[in-house]
Structure 1
Amino acid sequence: MVSPLPSLLYAFLATGGFSILIHNEVKGAICVSGLEHTQNHDLIIQALEAYLYPKQD
Structure 2
Amino acid sequence: MIPDNPLKLKHRDKVGVLMGFKIDHLNNPVKARIKFDETERIGFVDLVDLLHFKND
**Higher RCO structure, 1 or 2 (CA under 8 Å, sep 6+):** 2
When normalised by structure 2's length, the TM-score is: 0.29
**By percentage of residues, which structure has more strand?**
2
Bigger radius of gyration: 1
How does the TM-score come out when normalised to structure 1? 0.28
